[in-house]
Every structure is written in C-alpha cells, then in structure tokens.
C-alpha cells in the first residue's frame, strides 16, 4: 500500500473537533463499529471495522488538540502494519482534519493496489461518519 491521504473540514472549532476524534464514547461513531483505545502515547487498543476486520493499534504520539498517530495492523498480520497520522488545522471555515495512512518500512508490498484502494475508501467513510457525528452533536446541543 502506498500512502493514502484524506481530509475533511468540520464546521467546528479545534477543541470540539479534537473531542470528537478522541472522546471514548465517540470513537465508535466514526473510527469503526467497536473501538477501544486511550489516546495517550504507548497505549494499546482495538478497532473492529464494520465488516468485522479486527485491527490492533498502539498509539505513538499525541499532541493534545493538534495531532495523534498510531500504528495498526489486522489480526495475525503485524508485518503489514501501517501508521496513521491525524492532524487538525484551524481554518476560517472550522477545522481541517487531515489523515495520512502509510505502510511501515517493514510492510510487504504484495497486493499494494488493492490494499491502498481499500484503505482510501475506508478513510473516506470514516471521515464521512465524523461529519455525521458532528451534525448529530450540533442538533443535540440545539
């Protein structure tokens, strides 16, 4: 898999966007069907995608309110791990959420086109879910 990039601009300030990205009760609303991880460096977690794919992860870096990165891999395939970096940037229209997922150097290159297409589609869906979560939060607030 080559690296993939996706972004979305949320109609939210930086603090609200960060909360949506990292609040435990919101993680399953955008990242996967079932999500358990603590957004602190060194913590381990698990993401179960909507198709049942299980991804283990380890949080590498957190810059509170600005960025988070982790390594993740599917069950039994740690050699094909990739790094996800999510960066928040304030804009005049809200907050831009920029995601880059790239294979780690040790990851094999077989099936790269299929893996890249699948990862790109998954991130597009995740960011769409993040937008929907923001709209839901705004409607609850009134």
* Domain regions of the chain by residue span: 4-31+65-70+79-141
**Contact 10/126 with Cβ under 8 angstroms?**
no
- 4-31+65-70+79-141 carries CATH number 3.40.50.2300: no
* Best CA proximity match to 110, nearest among 70, 75, 77: 77
Percent residues over pLDDT 90 in the chain: 41
Q: Give the pLDDT score at 115.
A: 47
Percent residues over pLDDT 70 in the chain: 78
- pTM, full prediction: 0.81
What are 9's two structure tokens?
Answer: 């601009």
Q: What rounded mean pLDDT belongs to the chain?
A: 82
> Taking 70 as the threshold, does the pLDDT of residue 107 lie above it?
no
Cα separation values, 132 from 30, 117, 123, 128, 136, Å:
8, 23, 14, 6, 6
pLDDT (tens digit per residue) in 19-61? 989 988 888 888 889 999 999 999 999 999 888 989 999 999 9
């Amino acid at each position: 898999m080559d690296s993939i990039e996706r972004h979305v601009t949320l109609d939210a300030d930086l603090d609200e966007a960060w909360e949506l990205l990292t609040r435990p009760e919101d993680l399953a609303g955008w990242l996967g069907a079932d999500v358990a991880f603590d957004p602190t460096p060194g913590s381990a977690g698990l993401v179960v995608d909507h198709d049942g794919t299980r991804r283990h992860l380890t949080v590498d870096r957190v810059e509170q309110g600005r960025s988070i990165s982790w390594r993740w891999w599917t069950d039994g395939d740690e050699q094909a791990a990739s790094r996800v970096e999510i960066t928040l940037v304030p804009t005049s229209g809200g907050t831009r959420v920029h995601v880059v997922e790239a294979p780690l150097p040790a990851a094999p290159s077989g099936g790269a086109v299929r893996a890249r297409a699948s990862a790109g589609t998954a991130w597009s869906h995740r960011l769409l879910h993040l937008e929907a979560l923001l709209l839901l939060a705004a409607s609850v607030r009134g």
